[in-house]
Structure 1
Amino acid sequence: MSWGPEQQGQYGQQAYPGYQGYPGHQGYQGQPEYGQEDPGYWQPYAHPAPYEEQWPYVPEEPGTVSTAVPSAPAHDEPPAASAADSPDPGTSERADPAPEGRTGGRDRYFDTLRAVALVRVVTYHTFGWAWAGLVFPSMGVMFALAGTLMAKSLERAALKVVRSRMRRLLPPFWFWGFFVVLAMMIHGWMPGRQIVFWVVPVGDPPGNQWGMQAWEILWYLRTYLWFVLLSPLLLKIFRKAPIPVLLLSLVPIVVFQYGWQPSDDRLGSALTDLATYLFCWLLGFAHREGVLQRLKPAAVVLGSIAALAYGGWYAFAHQSEFGTYDLDENPLAQAFWSAGFVTPLMYFKAYYDVDFAWLARFKRLDRTVTVFNARAVTIYLWHEIALVLAVPLIDQFWKVPAFEKWLPLESQWFMFAVGWLLIWIAIPLFGWVEDVAARKRPRLLP
């Protein structure tokens, strides 16, 4: 789904003028058809729903009752039941009374983190800024938030939880994939047996070069799905020795860098991505299980600084090896920088019980954060296509003299704005699929 220069008219730039390869995918230089002769591989950049929802948006099963972890300290989570505990705010469900001075509902702290992460994803894919991951490692944040909800959900039967997660994720993916696969076939792609990964993305789905900008983001869905499948076992292991297991979760990515390196295929891609974000996923467990708030602030600060220092040093010291200091091209640097960055964010929430309830005073901003969270899958899946379509759309603007004179048609910021306009159009057009997957009444906007 790439647009060559000859298709761009006077705009005269590629679909992503600042684009430097798929975020998080090591050393991508443009590859043949993925999943055929050369599977290709990239490592995540990075690409969330209320506090008690994961990103992708995966609320709880209808009719379930969420209970607090008995061993968690008092300020692990607010006792007020989140609206995310039920897929539909109208669902009858038992909730603990909200404490004085606190309103029930969504946890706006985590909601805001997800919204910022989504904005950063779209920004990175527009401008390709190598420093974006250093400022805000979106994927580390998203996997930590997803791990928090998964630990909460596993208070119920594991099989039921896994089935629920897959049900919430796959229908929006199938709906989006239908258009992408059909478009690639129209442009010459011949699917083979590997098309099964377009049904259940436990491996990177195949595609051709034309549609690469659309399907390359699917590494996240694949990694998320594997974390969901592995979480029942991971949580059991984590509960036996939380802190040692959390610290040892960084060992696999170190081994992959300095010792045994996974093969450059679907299995190797999955292993590398899992190792890169394993710490962040388990950090979500640590928040939910009440581990973080038992830690001393000094220990958290020192550990986070050490991880940031090592991750940053490795990124800049190995620029010649990876061609950039972009964390998304460097799994080891990504793992340690994300660990050092996300840990204080989760600890701040756990230790001080911050909820960003003040956000409700700014109705438009609060509404935007709500939409971002409730339509996170839609935004994530369709944002690349929106940015690609922004290029030929801007080409048409050149044909209008007034637009050519008064609009900054050559600016990437203008493409960024047009891309967001198309994303906001996609939300009511396609977001209702998330409601259907959640067994809720379809709505144009949440």
Structure 2
Amino acid sequence: MTHGYPTGASADATPAFGIPRQPVAEMPPAPEEQPPARRSVPGRDRYLDLLRTLALIRVVVYHLLGWAWLSIVFPSMGVMFALAGSLMARSLKRPALSVIRGRLRRLLPPLWAFSAVALTMMFAAGWKPSKDPDLGGGWHVVQVLDYFLPVGAPPYPEHLGSDSGLLDASWAEQAAGPLWYLRAYMWFVIATPLILWAFRRVPWATLLAPLALTAVVGTGIVTIPGETGNAVTDFVVFGGCWTLGIAHHEGVLQKVPRYLAVSCSTLLMAFGLWWASGHHGPDGWDLNDIPLAQATWSFGFVVILLQYSPSWQELPGRLARYDRLVTLSNSRAMTIYLWHNLLIMLTVPIIDQLYSLPFLQSDTDASAITSAYTWLMFLLVWPLIALAILAFGWIEDLAAKRSPRLWPDGAPRGRAKRHAVAGP
């Protein structure tokens, strides 16, 4: 599994404007049940909401800066799959088919909006799937439908336009790269009733089976070619974390003594780092390119997080100041995840306009802009994400059968807001 770059991409390729191509294929957050637009929501675990927010922020920073060590400091994918697995297991108190339909209903409309924009841009730039040699023509063109129902990996042109164009020629690859997560999430959702059935009968075998399978298909012992192999590898690498979420919901993890859980997790994580030390990918220590290290490190990390998991109805202490950010990011997790990588690419032509400003024409000014380029991208991407939330986030509300909201950060509105300000 090589999530640092999609198949066929070069890790050392440099796009236009001198900005290194950034990794695109990590993933982030699941489209779970979102909190209504109020500050305190009975039944919501704000600790889990905080983890999801941290994962989203870390994913954006990782894709922007490309720091491999971030995959070790906070393995967002494992955390997010665990949270999704726990919430999915909780939902299965209702009939399985209705739960699966509900999850897909939340997943697909935001994807359709993103895909409509991305495909329109690709077609307008001259991409013709029927003539794309990577697709092979014929029935392979139907893979474009994966943009709307992610049963497989959606196709994209590896180069579109030119390096001197408005966007770097790899923009389509960068935009479509993160969509692998939606494929994995959808298959996990469909498989959860079976996983839950197996877990309730043979819990430890079900929990550890993905790690054993990763040792087989993620190390080259058994090789499955093409996107099928990527999909299977994704499923087994993160299957352990998804099942950990189920175990958390079922109360199994709480029955394990904390010292034993933490000790075993630490050993497993140490093994993951040891394996990574001898199996570096194209970006060195980036665990996204090292399946077995990713699986074991993420598994142990998630066990520790869930063992120490407090149950917060409200964020405590100084964390309370971030309540609105946590509420907003959880309400718009899919929007942020789908659009952030394309928005990172969009920062480049915007920042390039600085070079043409009449009061920044000296060599010193140009050198200063170039040296600060990455940090300017970092500062600019957040306002662009905010604009995407305003433009497309309300689709998540429609998908969840809620009234559309532009900025659901939990802030009181209308009369309630005036009352809160004025007091009794």
For 2:305, the equivalent position in structure 1 comes to 345
Unaligned runs of 5+ in 2: 1-8, 130-140, 161-171, 409-424
For 1:265, the equivalent position in structure 2 comes to 226
Q: Describe the shift of the 1:370–1:266 C-alpha distance in structure 2 as closer, same or farther (beyond 3 A).
A: same
The answer (yes or no) to whether the contact 1:378–1:430 under 8 Å persists in 2 is yes
Richer in helix (by share):
2
1:385 to 342, 349, 363: 342
Counterparts of 1:85-124 in structure 2, within 5 Å, are 104=42, 106-124=44-62
1:37-80, CA deviations, whole angstroms, 9 ceiling, x for partnerless residues?
A: xxxxxxxx3324xxxxxx22345xxxxxxxxxxxxxxxxxxxxx
1:199-258, CA deviations, whole angstroms, 9 ceiling, x for partnerless residues?
A: 210101111123111001001000000000100101000111222321233111011135
Q: What one-letter code is carried by the residue in structure 2 that aligns with 1:57?
A: E
The answer (yes or no) to whether the contact 2:261–2:304 under 8 Å persists in 1 is yes
Matched, 1:56 2:38: no
Q: Equivalents in 2 of 1:407, 1:443: separation in Å?
A: 43
Q: TM-score, normalised by structure 1?
A: 0.77
For 1:256, the equivalent position in structure 2 comes to 217
Q: What one-letter code is carried by the residue in structure 2 that aligns with 1:428?
A: L
1:128 to 66, 91, 94: 66
Matched, 1:289 2:294: no
Equivalent residues, number = 369
1:88-130, CA deviations, whole angstroms, 9 ceiling, x for partnerless residues?
A: 879xxxxxxxxxxx98353221111111101111111111111
Q: Describe the shift of the 1:325–1:356 C-alpha distance in structure 2 as closer, same or farther (beyond 3 A).
A: farther
* 1:421 to partner: Cα distance: 1.4
Q: What one-letter code is carried by the residue in structure 2 that aligns with 1:216?
A: G
Q: Equivalents in 2 of 1:443, 1:425: separation in Å?
A: 14
Q: Equivalents in 2 of 1:382, 1:103: separation in Å?
A: 27
Unaligned runs of 5+ in 1: 24-44, 49-54, 60-83, 91-101
The answer (yes or no) to whether the contact 1:7–1:392 under 8 Å persists in 2 is no
Secondary structure at 1:398 match in 2: helix
1:316-347, CA deviations, whole angstroms, 9 ceiling, x for partnerless residues?
A: 1112x656221011111100110111110011
Mean CA deviation greater in 382-391 or 181-190 = 181-190
* 1:198 to partner: Cα distance: 1.7
Mean CA deviation greater in 251-260 or 328-337 = 251-260
Q: Describe the shift of the 1:285–1:399 C-alpha distance in structure 2 as closer, same or farther (beyond 3 A).
A: same
For 1:313, the equivalent position in structure 2 comes to 274
For 2:155, the equivalent position in structure 1 comes to 206
2:192 to 221, 228, 231: 231
For 1:427, the equivalent position in structure 2 comes to 389
Matched, 1:328 2:285: no
Q: Equivalents in 2 of 1:423, 1:444: separation in Å?
A: 13
1:47 to 18, 28, 38: 28
Q: Equivalents in 1 of 2:21, 2:262: separation in Å?
A: 34
* 1:7 to partner: Cα distance: 8.7
Q: Equivalents in 1 of 2:95, 2:377: separation in Å?
A: 46
Secondary structure at 1:280 match in 2: helix
The answer (yes or no) to whether the contact 2:47–2:311 under 8 Å persists in 1 is yes
Q: Equivalents in 2 of 1:252, 1:440: separation in Å?
A: 40
Q: Describe the shift of the 1:88–1:122 C-alpha distance in structure 2 as closer, same or farther (beyond 3 A).
A: closer
* 1:357 to partner: Cα distance: 2.8
Q: Equivalents in 1 of 2:360, 2:32: separation in Å?
A: 38
For 1:93, the equivalent position in structure 2 comes to none
The answer (yes or no) to whether the contact 2:15–2:21 under 8 Å persists in 1 is no
1:368-408, CA deviations, whole angstroms, 9 ceiling, x for partnerless residues?
A: 11111100000000101110000000001222245675996
Matched, 1:196 2:145: yes
Q: What one-letter code is carried by the residue in structure 2 that aligns with 1:22?
A: V
**Identity across aligned pairs (percent)?**
44
Q: Equivalents in 2 of 1:244, 1:347: separation in Å?
A: 20
